[in-house]
Structure 1
């Protein structure tokens, strides 16, 4: 671990504010366009499945590059990689807002995602370096809360912006925040005194990046051309083979991108698995719910945004209480209870239909929000505290990678299930909302939420087994 001077320690809460800022904005930008998607379909004259590339390209870019940026941070210095990431993210946001067509917007979303990835890979490592052990859990809990809030606040904020301004402001709001954050970051973040003489596994990074792109290409394009298409099958098989090669390469390297030894700790492994499950569920909900609110319930984007604001408000209230409780009674029971509530909420939303009362939906959203508030801070602290002090930076980048993988997988899973079951209901290929056929959308949506509930309860079972083993070990 790097040793920093007294000024760094004195400024640690300012440093926390800066390093939480970009991951918050980064996760915000992964979801802020969700409510705007139905409107942007008409603006850019593309299909509903095509417009979701704005979300998917952003998330896939982060997943593909985050391990590389985590490793670069270990060698070149976490602060410099973080600051450069914040700068690139801000520039990418500006050009997203200035984009004149859909192709340019997609390209600059990728640029924006590269910046977000560089910062997300290193923020938790910076926190662990500047905070003493007795404050680290609290700081990581705050970081985890803001990451979740970014994911949750995105859709309602996007709804308000698209109702009163234009889609350009979804990206323009990042610019003043990014400029201020970059200026403060270069001034207060700790500077690395010397550079490590270690190799970077660029070959592994390329193999891993290609495997991620091929995997999501096959999952997403399969909706359009069919999963029996030869190109889709080849891409899927190639993605699996490349990922296996990547794992074998990493296992033999002295300085790997992905330190597999961390997964020998069951607390870390189960915590990482539950992180994936939670964020996959959150994002599957975030991608589908705006279409339900706007197309089926006929709400305006601003009113839909207000409904979706319920969750982040509750999480903001519950998360500090959850973090305090985890210090008193431990993190594991809270993560267990949180996943149960998320699973119940997802299952209840699956029972809705086109004639359901809005108050029913609000009650079910409250279940999910309370579950997230109870789960996220304790689980984040659990994952980081289960790693040894010399691997905290690597653990942070893996945690960030899995979080974004969960978000990407949630979007891919939701769109795949939604359009597959809508097509089944119609008896023909469906790639968007069908006017006058709310029942078709509800049929597909129901299976999205059923699947989300199932994966949450898988997490509940795994967490229960871990809790039971811990209890038995205490008796012995």
Structure 2
């Protein structure tokens, strides 16, 4: 039996346990803050990074996709294995290793030696190094926190951890705007001192939690089928977003089709293998716990709904709304981050509060209400025109942030409370894997919707707009530019028209009248043209997000009002750890 930190052999022991839980919170908070800053600072600094390594925005789509999705792909595939290995050999040990690897990746990114295509590939590779480190920390942070805090304080601890993550997003946006102005390398250097501090602090202070000794083996076939299957499948999805031959997308590529088929076969074989091996890394028995099963499914659907939304909203702001309101393309990445702050504010307000309240009243209705708010915010966003009034947009973002805050922390607390101590590492890895997989699939899904829409709608809109602007001679040369290239040029802070015009013969450009040139190079012509092709796909994406959120809300409402593995006895008794066997048929919801 694992003791509650308020019991033990005397007041000194109790005091040490109380102090230790706050040390654990401080260390995991540093890690969450560092990873969050790294994510938002990279996103907002992409224009400076691509400028710094001399990459053409109109031909950089493949690099952009891998910078954005490569990190998530690696974490999604490694989280489950890392969680299982941590349960076997020590969560703290793997957490410390992850901290160090992530810091090493940040150093390598700062030192990126080459430019051009080689520089882009190096950045992608070093981001993957960061992702390996993040996999070790992500798969263990929630488990280490759960080990350190009693059941009636875990929601509060996870909420504070979430607040640090979201605060890091805000700090990353501001730092990215400042540091990228001086040198793109500084955006990676900023994580290094925090990483060194966190690595040393974790190594000195974190202690392994004694767990029941259980003979365990490396699940070789489970690792091969899961890591191989998910990696191959997600690589297929990623390359499906890239042009193939004359097609704007690669769904017809033999590589993509083979990857999807082989990946799907391996993933289907994975649960069959896990049900037969002696010591599986994917504890299928955990899904017999109704809370664990439903809460994880709701989390996956929520990630699927919102994973691609951040990028689509930023594209809407950077490619359409901000230029229409007079912001230069060079400044749109920074201002897009500023105008997205209501989303972060909602997270910061509701994340810790919902965690604290869920400790007292249970997770179900907070998580369910949060998902309903997210669905409402999606429907509000779907109703907006492209040249919307910002206060309405800000309210929709705030509602989405509040909803995500209400859902996120209680959902994590419900999952982690529902499993026994010796399985918290693999449970945390399973939860993180499902959510990261949902995020990657979401990005692929919504990017596909947008690209298909742009492919069909952008050329006729472009022709109509060019004719209306008095430059019909540009229809043929500008139609040769991939619509996705123009969209992502805007996303990277370039004026796509300027980027396109410099690629045309001088004789073609000279034939354009000064009035037409002024119209084309202004801040309103291209955003208006793009909006008519972009908004239908964006609305479809928002409706899909609302539907997925509603389904997740239904599942969340079925989890029960309270289910904590270490509650024993009548209501109102002091929590105490009870090692119930995982396959015990009576292990179900405690109302």
How far apart, CA to CA, are the structure 1 residues paired with 2:36 and 2:277?
A: 31
Instruction: Give how far 1:322 is off.
Output: 1.5
Task: Say yes or no: does 1:280 pair with 2:304.
Answer: yes
The answer as to whether partners of 1:322 and 1:373 remain within 8 angstroms in 2 is yes
Instruction: Give how far 1:466 is off.
Output: 5.2
The aligned counterpart of 2:239 is 221
Moved more, 167-176 or 129-138: 129-138
Q: Give the 3 Å change call, closer, same or farther, for CA 424–380 of structure 1 in structure 2.
A: same
User: In the alignment, which of 138, 151, 154 is matched to residue 120 of structure 1?
Assistant: 138
The aligned counterpart of 1:431 is 484
The aligned counterpart of 1:266 is 290
The aligned counterpart of 2:263 is 239
How far apart, CA to CA, are the structure 2 residues paired with 1:24 and 1:243?
A: 33
The answer as to whether partners of 1:284 and 1:414 remain within 8 angstroms in 2 is yes
Instruction: Give how far 1:415 is off.
Output: 1.6
**1:355-409 deviation digits (Å, cap 9, x = unpaired):** 2222221121111011112111111111112223432222222112122222222
Q: Give the 3 Å change call, closer, same or farther, for CA 253–464 of structure 1 in structure 2.
A: same
Q: Give the 3 Å change call, closer, same or farther, for CA 129–188 of structure 1 in structure 2.
A: same
Task: Say yes or no: does 1:15 pair with 2:108.
Answer: no
Q: Give the 3 Å change call, closer, same or farther, for CA 403–145 of structure 1 in structure 2.
A: farther
Aligned counterparts, 1:15-414, within 5 A: 15-38=24-47, 40-42=49-51, 43-45=54-56, 46-99=59-112, 100=114, 101-147=119-165, 152-153=169-170, 156-157=173-174, 160-161=177-178, 164-191=181-208, 198-223=216-241, 224-225=243-244, 226-297=250-321, 298=323, 299=327, 300=331, 301-414=333-446
The answer as to whether partners of 1:94 and 1:171 remain within 8 angstroms in 2 is yes
Higher helix content, 1 or 2: 1
Q: Give the 3 Å change call, closer, same or farther, for CA 161–70 of structure 1 in structure 2.
A: farther
The answer as to whether partners of 1:88 and 1:111 remain within 8 angstroms in 2 is yes
The answer as to whether partners of 1:155 and 1:305 remain within 8 angstroms in 2 is no
What is the TM-score normalised by the length of structure 2?
0.73
The aligned length equals 471
The answer as to whether partners of 2:87 and 2:423 remain within 8 angstroms in 1 is no
The answer as to whether partners of 2:419 and 2:427 remain within 8 angstroms in 1 is yes
Q: Give the 3 Å change call, closer, same or farther, for CA 402–237 of structure 1 in structure 2.
A: same
The answer as to whether partners of 1:76 and 1:196 remain within 8 angstroms in 2 is no
Instruction: Give how far 1:31 is off.
Output: 4.4
Q: Give the 3 Å change call, closer, same or farther, for CA 311–191 of structure 1 in structure 2.
A: same
- Structure 1, unpaired ranges of 5+: none
**1:206-227 deviation digits (Å, cap 9, x = unpaired):** 3212212222222222232332
Q: Give the 3 Å change call, closer, same or farther, for CA 262–146 of structure 1 in structure 2.
A: farther
Give the number of the structure whose alpha-carbon radius of gyration is greater. 2
Instruction: Give how far 1:414 is off.
Output: 2.4
How far apart, CA to CA, are the structure 2 residues paired with 1:160 and 1:256?
A: 46
Q: Give the 3 Å change call, closer, same or farther, for CA 244–417 of structure 1 in structure 2.
A: same
Moved over 6 A (4+): 1-5, 192-196
How far apart, CA to CA, are the structure 1 residues paired with 2:96 and 2:551?
A: 38
How far apart, CA to CA, are the structure 2 residues paired with 1:133 and 1:197?
A: 27
The answer as to whether partners of 2:299 and 2:552 remain within 8 angstroms in 1 is no
The answer as to whether partners of 1:422 and 1:443 remain within 8 angstroms in 2 is no
How far apart, CA to CA, are the structure 1 residues paired with 2:36 and 2:442?
A: 14
The aligned counterpart of 1:450 is 543
The answer as to whether partners of 1:59 and 1:404 remain within 8 angstroms in 2 is yes
Instruction: Give how far 1:200 is off.
Output: 1.3
Q: Give the 3 Å change call, closer, same or farther, for CA 13–180 of structure 1 in structure 2.
A: same
What is the TM-score normalised by the length of structure 1?
0.90
Equivalent residue of 2:195, what SS? helix
The answer as to whether partners of 1:89 and 1:111 remain within 8 angstroms in 2 is yes
The aligned counterpart of 2:247 is none
